[in-house]
Structure 1
Amino acid sequence: MKKVLIIIICLQFGIVFSQEEDRKEIIATANQLVADGNELLVKDGNFPKAEGEYRKAIAKNPIDVSAKYNLANAYYNTEKYDEATQRYTEAVKIATSKSEKHKAFHNQGNTFMEQKKYQEAVEAYKNALRNNPKDNETRYNLALAKKMLEEEKQQQDQNKDDKDNKDQNEDNKDKEGENEDKKEGDEGEKDKDKKEGEDDKDKKDGEGEKDKDKKEGDDSKDKKDGEGDKDDKEEDKNNEKDGDKTEGKPEGQPQQMEGKLSPQQVKNLLEAMSNQEKKVQDKMNAKKVKGVKKKAEKDW
């Protein structure tokens, strides 16, 4: 029984020893890959090959902070800030010491500053100071990030005020334009109504003048007709008077005429003359009869 226990313990020890050796070998290999990457990046400036070595180190030892941290620094120096931020975040998660966390948070803050993400930078610097409160460089960067954040907020407020003022001015202009259009429309309607009123007035005045002229024409016509009737009546009356005067005058005396004679007057005059001539003829015939000697009849 004891022999069995001793054998089991030896086997477990051997396995642990083997695993430890393998882990040491893995760490050593990963560290060498990181070193090769640093050399390629610093001496040769060959970022693509350096990136490849860092990735190999991470694949070999995923819990190695240095591989992810150095790869993040490589991204930062080549201005690949999104990739750098991702790798710094991964380094923070697997870091076991405050020193490692402090460096990762500090550089992550620098990455956010380059992206003008001042609020994120402030939080990253604060986390860095929590792991190393004595780092003056981190403290300075934090103060700078806060200042930039405040200026950004002021600029945003200013831009907002300017935008609001611009929008307000545009609204005022639009309202003024609407009021002006409405005013012009009202004036146009007023002018139209006024013109229509004037046209109606002129039309009514014209109709009134027309009616007036028509009425005056009718009145004139009636007046003329009345005057004509009056003249005819007066003429008939005068003719009657003239006829009476003609009949009462001595025979053979010509009638005194003044002005133009009416048809009735002419008729009366002719009849009077005819009567006068007949009377004279009758007298002359009578005288002839008296003067003729009568022949005696023969006695048989």
Structure 2
Amino acid sequence: MNIVMLGHSAAGKTSYLSLMYAAMCDGVEGLTLGTADPAAHRSLVNGAGAILRGSYPRASDRRQAYEFVLRHQGADVFPFRWTDHRGGALTELRSASAQARQLHEDLVAAQGIVLFVDALHLATDPEAPEAVRRLIVRVHQAVDAREETLTPLVIALTKTDLVDLGAPGGEERFVGPFLPLIEAVAGTRHIQGAFIPLVCGPEPENVVLPVLWTLRFGILGRAMELSASIERLVASAQYADARDTVWDRIGSWWTDQPSWASMRDRARAEAAGELARLQPLVAPADRLAELLEDVLAF
């Protein structure tokens, strides 16, 4: 699964990634995160430690991709890639910047999108809603043509400890800019959206929710693919079994062609293999559904 994280500079993406990874390394209800890259592990864990002490990292100046794996009860169950784009790529023309072109390509191919927006920026800068609108246009263009692919989308509102979300006019200020995207997503069957307020500082809040949301629907999408494959293979096995006869086996042996019996056995073996890949996804999918019950979905 490919997950793309994007947002304007200083929206908190780099801080989020470190805090999320460290929190998931500690584990949530038997779910943990890992990486085979020791350098990435050290960098993210050390970054989280610095943030918890009040020292924030510099904004990312280039695209970075991390290879992670979700584990359930210590067993690897779902590998995924998390790509972090520098904020400046959002304001550059695709024709003028290699990183801007890469961002567009990553968004088109993304199987999960996490959109970061600075709540303090929305509260204090009159031009912030227009910047959010341009960001939303990028995302909408990337997912507009999708009709079948199950795609999780998270709007992550950062720095919510620095604003009063419940103040008069707060809903219009902090949710209003996203309404066109929320309404468009709500009208689809394949895009599953969530609105999640975050604090990515010394007292972090909700940092595991965006990654868990994207992984839940990534796992569900994979489970749906496997289930459909199993159904097709079982139907093929039944079709072949109904045509299996002694004469077909003899004739197939004589002409050196696959017999209906061999095609039945191959389809059954492939179905068993798909089932073996499906079964480890069931328990973590159920656990994720329980953990995300209270997330504001659209």
TM-score, reference length from structure 1: 0.21
Structure exhibiting the larger radius of gyration computed from Cα positions: 1
TM-score, reference length from structure 2: 0.21
Query: Higher relative CO (CA 8 A, sep ≥ 6), structure 1 or 2?
Result: 2
- Structure whose residues are more often helix by fraction: 1
- Structure whose residues are more often strand by fraction: 2
